[in-house]
Amino acid sequence: MSPALLAGRRYRAAFALAALCCVAILVGGYATAGADASLARSDSAGEADNRTNDTVVPPRDNVTVVATDSTAFVTDVGDGPRKRAELVAFAPNGSVYYRDESHTRYWDVDPVAGTAATVEYVYADHLAPEDCSSGSACTRNGVERVNLTSGNVTRVYSRITPGKHSTRWHDADRIGEDRLLVADIDQDRAFVVNTTTEQLTWSWDAQTDFNTSSGGSYPEDWTHINDVEYVELDGRETVMVSVRNHDQVVFVDTETGLRENWTLGSDGDHDTLYEQHNPDFIPAERGGPAVLVADSENGRVVEYQRRNGSWERSWEWRDQRLTWVRDADRLPNGHTLITDSNGDRVLEVARNGSVVWSSTVGFPYESERLGTGDESAGGRSAAALGLPARTPSAENRSAVSETTTLLPKPLVNGVAYLLPAWVGPVEALAAVGLVVVLLVWAVVEWRRRSFEVHLRWPVQIRNR
């Protein structure tokens, strides 16, 4: 055998082995995901009140309710492949207490005061052009109330917005018997609506205080206001607003407007916040003023304490898996309930920073632990609790995590958002590696070819 032929066989074997390794990682990831599939990606989804006695998540005290965003996975439920989301409640023994998958998306979920197992949630339904007055696709955004025990659902409020993506509401908080505070992504505003009369009684427009050249693309997805919360500051009615695309949490006095000296973060200051979700306000009587926030693009949960008229970082938590966190609640026992969307999990972190409970849930948006108050209403600040910060040490970081930190965070999270749910960092790198191996292999084969191709008509192939 000639040396050239022997060398050719060796490099082909090397390329083939590298490609097979990448394929093996992808197949293994898919198979593992299939074995550990969450309810949101399973084929067993049934009626809204379909319960099981099987333990599907680890047991934990009280009912845990999770709202999921359906982007990033497609399943076949008998009527053809479609994207799915669900509102699911897990009983203390880890079984399914309640499930509903009737809407396109589920966002904010809040316990109803004075009840043991009733919640209100925000949903979005994508409507076909023929169901929209504009003749193009639109979305029905709404709030519903459900008794998790009986399964009875009551409509609270809804409105239709144009398009499917940057117009969907993510949050609505009840602030009275017939009043809802709504985060309106479509109109770049926060407003209060009387659900009985359906009349707006208060609103704040971001254009009042922000220039349209800042933040995201105007008008397509300028502010992406994704969360609102009613608070009291110095005895004054105030609305805390998460202006995601401006990397800020702002406080708006319902009478006088923006309280600029209370703003947390600034546009482009990614060391403080980077396109955050679901900030929770912790008042002075519980160790604040403090803000616990899911710092999404930074892949961490962070808390800021108000000291001497400014915000200081008082706590931070992340691990190697935390990817695109979109909710964090401080529980009365000092633990923190975290919702990691791209990490496909909901987890509970103890005071010492250890994970004491974790469940795999396909692309969750927000979670609530019933019996602990709305969001962080029952918890104390990190400063009051003396919580230690937790970040992965350099020696504990994997090669994969080190590689992904070199890439722009919005790119990493955006790719993860679009990829199938079973594709994690390892699988993503294997997919990239497979493409690179095949391309390099093709280039080497082309350079070692024994024929020439000339671009003329008709095409001629001549042996060398």
Full DSSP string of 242-268 = EEGGGTEEEEEETTTEE-GGG-B--TT
What b/e sequence results for 50-62 when a residue is b if at least 16 CB atoms lie within 10 Å of its CB, and e otherwise?
Answer: eeeeeebbeebee
Predicted TM-score (pTM) of the model is 0.81
Whole-angstrom Cα distance, residue 195 to residue 173? Answer: 12
Can you give the pLDDT of all 464 residues of the chain as single tens digits? 566 666 667 878 888 898 898 898 888 877 765 554 444 333 333 333 456 678 899 999 999 999 998 754 443 333 344 457 999 999 999 999 999 999 999 999 999 999 999 999 999 999 999 989 888 899 999 999 999 999 999 999 999 999 988 999 999 999 999 999 999 999 999 999 999 999 999 999 999 999 999 999 999 999 999 999 999 999 999 999 999 999 999 999 999 999 999 999 999 999 999 999 999 999 999 999 999 999 999 999 999 999 999 999 999 999 988 989 999 999 999 999 999 998 889 999 999 999 999 999 989 999 999 999 999 999 999 999 999 999 886 445 555 455 555 566 676 666 666 666 567 667 777 888 888 989 988 888 888 777 666 666 665 666 65
DSSP H or E run through 287: none
Whole-angstrom Cα distance, residue 302 to residue 320? Answer: 16
- Position 414 scores a pLDDT of 67
Whole-angstrom Cα distance, residue 438 to residue 12? Answer: 11
Whole-angstrom Cα distance, residue 208 to residue 242? Answer: 16
End-to-end CA distance of the chain: 20
Task: Mark out the alpha helices in 36-113 (DSSP H runs).
Answer: none
- Position 394 scores a pLDDT of 47
Closest CA to 156 of 97, 198, 201, 205: 198
Q: What tens digit of pLDDT does each residue of 119-140 get?
A: 999 999 999 999 898 888 999 9
DSSP H or E run through 451: strand 451-454
- Position 31 scores a pLDDT of 73
- Position 76 scores a pLDDT of 37
Distance of CA 319 to the CA centre of its chain: 16
Q: How many other CB atoms are found less than 10 A from the CB of residue 44?
A: 13
